[in-house]
Structures are given as structure tokens and as C-alpha cells.
Homo-oligomer: A and B are copies of this chain.
Amino acid sequence: MPITLAIDCMGGDHGPSVTIPAAFQFLREDAQARAVLVGLPEVFDEAFRKSATEFGERLIVRTASEVVEMDEAPASAMRGKKDSSMRVAIDLVKSGEATAAVSAGNTGALMAISRFVLKTLPGIDRPAIATIIPSMKGQTYMLDLGANVDCTAEHLLQFAIMGAMLLEAVEHSESPTVGLLNIGEEDIKGNEVVKRAAQLLRQSDLNFYGNVEGNDIFKGTTDIVVCDGFVGNVALKSAEGLAHMITSLLSQEFKRNLLTKLIALIAMPVLRRFKRVFDPSRYNGATLLGLRGVVVKSHGSADQVAYVWALRRAAEAARHNLIERIATRMQAVAIKAENAAGEGAAA
């Protein structure tokens, strides 16, 4: 069955000027894929219609009358804007007209609307957001980055399962390694929730590596790093803060005087290669996990190259049955827990 992406053309800092060319590029790349572009009527003008003919039936347009603002409160977006481009895109996944939705809009609103419309999978208490982080070995998937605070050990186990299934679907890795973010490698380290989560993970059939520390995210010690949304947010923002400090101090030093500017010019090819490794566009496309449908969040500031990456990830997740994988695995966990409870009662 061909996959169909519902694309919220209005979301993100650049809106249709990025999302539409990205959608075209994606459809050219992926001849098996279809797309439904959702946006305000004026977006689909004469020029658009002319270029869109290239894709024939693979490209469908759906108009919406409203747009969720980037700084709008999730509750207001959810209740007040039932015909927003974001909402219509998610509705298309719900109705089965699309197999995945992609938006660069307001994260809080996207999560609230997705959860409300699609609902969570059986056994999943809280949907999570998995993000891709560059690492010394390529990339690390990290979750939760969706602001799930006060998580229990069971939540962390669910995050681990969802993350592992995401890697199976999108990266085609068999039995990806899972690390639990902690403050030491030893079992006795950490807070009560993390200690219990380690027990649950050890009992699970996931490929559990054990505890990892903050630096392991960038070392690439494991394929997946699992943590509470509070800790995940702080870890990532701290690293971003340091990266910003390093680059701005480095550029200050190179701009100091004529000589250093000349040196910068000479060093440019090397610095540019170096920058490419960190190119955030390659890592664009965070996946909302635990819902009854594939939803991918692009960074708001994404350019065309970055947005295409988010579309590719959504297509891959949908094509390789992300939702079914999570549902099946969660069912196995539930049966195991039931059996354990039964044995406990019999003993």
C-alpha cells in the first residue's frame, strides 16, 4: 500500500515557502509516496497548480480556514481552531486518508491535537517525543523531549519500547541498544524512579545496555537514550547553550583583527566541513510516539533541506509500520505482566 503524508503547509517560521517546495522535492525523490497538502486557500494559487500537475494524483490539496500560531496556547489551538491546517492534517491520519502527518508548527499544540484526535495506543500512558542528536558514532535517538515530567519507572519503560520500535521502523536496526540516562553506570546510582526503571528494562526483552551518563548521548554509547522529559530538556538545552557559547567565542576570536580575519578566511574550508557534521537539517524530524498514528514534528526554523528530512522520516515510519510495531510490543508487555501477576497470585 502506498503511503500518504498529510503536510501542514502553514506550520513553521517560513510556512508554505518552505513546506511546499519540500513536499515537491520529497514526491520527486519518493515515487511511491503520495501527499495531501493542507493550507489556507490562497496558498494553492495558479503558480502552485501549474507546478503541481507534475505529480498527478499523487498530490492532493485540502484547504483549511485557520492557522495555529507558533506561540498559541495548546488548549486554545485545540478547542478554538477546529479547521486549522494542523488539525485537518491530523484528522486525515485519523480518517485513514493519510498514513502520517508532518508539521513544523507549535509543538505543544501539535501534541495536544494529536493526542485528542488520534488517542494513545493501549498500554501507553503518555505520548513522548523522540529527537535525533548528532553523536561521535553518527546519531543517538533520545526521548522523552516532549515535556513529560514526574515520570514513573513504567513510563520510562514505555519510552524505551517506543524508541526501540522507532529505530526498527525508521533506521531498520535490529534490536537497537537502549541506555537509561543516569548519574553513574553502577546500579546503585540514581534516583528511585531510575533505579526501578533499570529493573524493568533488565526484565524486558529490549536490548538494554544499562545506565548511561550525559556524555554518552554524544559519545553514541547506545542507539537510544531514555529519560524523563525534564531531564531530557535540560540535557539538550545545556548542550545547545554550550555549543552556542563555543561558536560565538570562536567567531569573536576570528573577528578580533585583520590578521585573525585573514586566518579565518584560510581556515574556512576546514571550519565549513566541521560545521557540516553538525548540520541540524540532517537531524530534523522529531517523532511523536505512543499515538494511534504517525506524527512527525519538524523544527520551526527548518529550511527546505531540513523539512524534506522530516518528510522522509515520516514516510519511513509509516511504511515500516511504526504504530503496529509499538502496539504489538506493548501487547506482549501486557501479557507478560498479566502472567507474572497470575503466577504471583498462584504462588
Interfacial residues, chain A to chain B (CB-CB below 8 A): 134-136, 147, 149-150, 181, 183, 189-192, 194, 213-219, 227, 229-231, 233-246, 248-250, 253-254, 256, 260, 263-264, 266-267, 269-271, 273-274, 277-278
Contact = CB atoms under 8 A, between A and B. Distances in A.
Nearest to A250: B274
A213 B233 CA distance: 9
A147 B277 CA distance: 34
A190 B149 contact: yes
Contacts of A264: 267, 270
A241 B263 contact: no
A238 B215 contact: yes
Complex copy number for this chain: 2
Majority SS at the chain A contact face: helix
A241 B219 contact: yes
B217 A238 contact: yes
A213 B190 CA distance: 22
Given A231-B230, A233-B183, A217 B192 contact: no
B235 A183 contact: no
Contacts of A248: 136
A150 B135 CA distance: 29
A229 B270 contact: no
A214 B237 contact: yes
Contact of A183 (B218, B229, B270, B278): B229
Contacts of A253: 270-271, 273-274
9 contacts: A183-B234, A183-B237, A216-B241, A217-B241, A218-B245, A234-B234, A234-B235, A235-B235, A239-B241
